[in-house]
Chains A and B, each alone.
Chain A
Amino acid sequence: MKTLMSNTLRAAGMLAAVLATSAVMTGPGNAAGGEPIHIEREDWSFGGFFGHFDRPQLRRGFQVYKDVCAACHGLSRVYFRNLAEPGGPMFDEASVQALAKDWPNQITDGPNDEGNMFQRPAKLSDPIHGPYKNEQEARFVNNGAYPPDLSNIIKARTIENHDAWYAHVFKMGRDILTGYQEAGADYVHALLVGYTDPPSGFELSEGMHYNKAFPGHQIAMNPPIPPEGAVEYQENAGAKSSLEQNARDVTAFLAWASDPSLESRKRIGWQVMLYLLVTTVLLYIAKHRIWARVKKR
């Protein structure tokens, strides 16, 4: 009687487990939240375990930021001095000093001896300010839209995952094993090259632009880079200017801006890993020898 009961129970347990598994398998796929936007994964020099920035690319990227984006976007968490520091574009200090001095968006300082605030040119130790005094002015100038400060933009954006749950698990495993953290860069790149004509039937509001990558597809930002590229790269800059190239370069530059310690982080990471791996092997051997005394009589 007892065994019969327990057999029945065991069968019930197994059945429940199998049911649960198979049911969820066929369950929620793309149940929720708008149609998924597909964004390609790009190949970034700073991605993965051996990632480091491509110095000429950061310099080209800064040129794009300075000549195009800075007209509307600030970069206030980055200081001019950072542009000369290791791990970044590494411009020489004298040229950064000159750049700071001529930066159109000056620093409000003070109060002076007479008690007044005043404007002065930027120095190495000053932040890279955008053109607007505050959000109100920015919105006022941009028809109510707000061009966000770009210092953290790469870290502050990601790509939403719309996979079914089982694909989700695999993707997660793959991303962890390959160290994929570049969703923000992939998004900003896709945004910059994502301007197209709206599909027929799509209702675009006044002053808005259609963009494949932007959530909701209506963005207030004008296409910042024209198809032929927005800036003239120097002869020795290492690349030809084009929409694709400008977009990649400025994205790489912004990736550095939001994660200036990336290079030392990964370098130290490898040193730490090496130390941990070697010590783990030694500990494994030690454990084996200690336990050999117990196991082998």
Chain B
Amino acid sequence: MAQHESTYVPKSATARWWDERLPLMRLLHDSFVDYPTPRNLNYLWTFGGILSFCLVAQILTGIVLAMHYQPSAAEAFNSVEHIRRNVNYGWMIRNFHAVGASMFFIAVYIHIFRGLYYGSYKAPREILWILGVLIFLVMMATAFMGYALPWGQMSFWGVTVITNLFSSLDGIFPGLGTAIVEWLWGGYAVTGTTLNRFFSLHYLLPFVIAGLVVLHVWALHVAGQNNPTGLDIKTKSDAVPMHPYATSKDLLWMFIFLIMFAWFVFFLPDYLGHADNYIEANPLVTPPHIVPEWYFLPFYAILRAIPDKLGGVIAMFAAIAILVFIPWLDTSRVRSTKYRPIYKWFFWLFAFSCLALGYLGSKPAEGVYVFWARIFTFYYFAHFLLVMPIVGILETPKKLPRSITDAVLGGKGDGSGGAAKPKGAAAAPESR
């Protein structure tokens, strides 16, 4: 829908002067004000805006933290305590940043499952989807390195366990894994050198994410937004201008999200973290349970479900990499799961598996926990490799509405169906 005609009219001489030289305002106006959005978007479509907010919030709070933080093995923990105790409102900035990472992941998981449910990865949105997977991957790297920075017990041992995983690559080519691990560490053990480089990368990667987000939004504005019906925008009445329609919803849900965010920042700042991280890193004392942050738990469970270390590492990375291929694994003719009576069940089974894997990832890798982790790991992959291709071919989708407008007005019983042209839409996109 990026091809829609520009409706930007410069309102002053200065604006016109600018517009003839660098039409930045025109680009923003056409992308975020007069951009046609499907009229039937539900609140799950507000998470893109929420994610952008999260990224900006992490960068701003992070820059302030970095003014007081010291990335050395001797001082990292002390400097975070200094931020908590002595810097004016340091506790607040730090809570916003630490809780913000969790909120970022809550939002991104909702965003991903939204895409999975409504088939937003299907043509013509494959590149858009793959860019999303890349953002997710870089986010995970950023958060992992960020969690190392306070240099508490869980920081240190989390880094030790996860970086050590790469040593299993020795099984593919002798010496390869060891070389990678030593290269990551900058030495023969996790030390202040490791911390230092993690800090450097933790500062860099969010800006890489910002670049990827620009591409992601660009791709979105070329393909147009998907919507709960999965149908394309066909007529003017299917769409409304982004502003004020989509923006008013975005803002409302951003504030609802902020209520939850603030709830954790002010009343439960440590709930999502680990008590052990309030103990300074000590290479001589191993904590009884080494557990990653909650947002990594499903992948951690997959890692430990495989009896072989190398196999586990491969499975863990494959669990993310496989997302890249689902635009081609899904053979369904319709996008939205709303119209897929059989796949619907498998979708919820998949969602349940992910939650179950998250729970199992937080438990010790023994007994029944391992058994169930294996079952759900199997389903995780089977969902993409078997269910998506096979169900898509065999299933008969429900009857689709004729258009987005039909889907919105049809059930409302005003009898006029899709032929009616609502007042708001008359003033919509191109005709304004």
Contact = CB atoms under 8 A, between A and B. Distances in A.
Interface of A: 2-3, 5-6, 9-10, 13-14, 16-17, 20-21, 23-24, 27-28, 31-33, 49, 77, 82, 148, 151-152, 155-158, 165, 168, 175-176, 179-181, 183-184, 215, 258, 260-261, 265-266, 268-270, 272-273, 276-277, 279-280, 283-284, 286-287, 290-291, 293-295, 297
9 contacts: A20-B349, A20-B353, A32-B369, A33-B288, A268-B266, A293-B422, A294-B240, A295-B422, A297-B414
Contacts of B255: 276, 279-280, 283
Interface string B334-370: 0000000110011011001100100100011011110
A9 B359 contact: no
Nearest to A15: B345
B259 A277 contact: yes
B81 interface: yes
A6 B256 contact: no
Shortest 8 CB-CB contacts between residues of A and residues of B: A269-B266, A13-B345, A294-B424, A156-B278, A158-B275, A293-B424, A179-B267, A155-B278
Interface in B360-394: 363-364, 366-369, 372, 375-376, 379, 391, 394
B278 A266 contact: no
Nearest to A160: B289
Contact of B244 (A10, A168, A265, A290): A290
Contact of A276 (B245, B262, B379, B424): B262
A258 B363 CA distance: 28
A268 B88 CA distance: 14
B279 A17 contact: no
Interface of B: 39, 81, 84-85, 91-92, 95, 240, 244-245, 248-249, 251-252, 255-256, 258-259, 262-263, 265-271, 275-276, 278-279, 288-289, 341-342, 345-346, 348-349, 352-353, 356, 359, 363-364, 366-369, 372, 375-376, 379, 391, 394-396, 408, 414, 420-425
B268 A24 contact: no
A9 B240 contact: no
Given A28-B368, A176-B271, A294 B345 contact: no
Contact of B267 (A16, A24, A158, A269): A269
A180 B268 CA distance: 7
B86 to A, nearest CB: 9
A209 to B, nearest CB: 21
Contact of B395 (A6, A20, A23, A294): A6
B401 to A, nearest CB: 17
A282 to B, nearest CB: 9
Query: Which has the most chain B C-beta neighbours within 10 Å: A151, A265, A266, A286?
Result: A265
Contact of B349 (A13, A156, A268): A13
A32 B366 contact: yes
B367 A32 contact: yes
B363 A28 contact: yes
B59 to A, nearest CB: 21
A28 B369 contact: yes
A77 B359 CA distance: 35
B262 A291 contact: no
Contacts of B349: 13, 16-17, 20
Contacts of A156: 275-276, 278-279
Contacts of B363: 28, 31-32
A3 B396 contact: yes
Given A158-B275, A266-B267, A287-B248, 12 more contacts: A6-B395, A13-B342, A17-B349, A20-B353, A152-B81, A156-B275, A180-B268, A280-B256, A283-B255, A287-B249, A291-B248, A297-B414
Contact of A28 (B278, B348, B372, B421): B372
Given A10-B341, A14-B345, A276 B275 contact: no
Given A17-B352, A283-B255, A272 B394 contact: no
A3 B268 CA distance: 51
A2 B258 CA distance: 48
A293 to B, nearest CB: 4
A272 B270 CA distance: 19
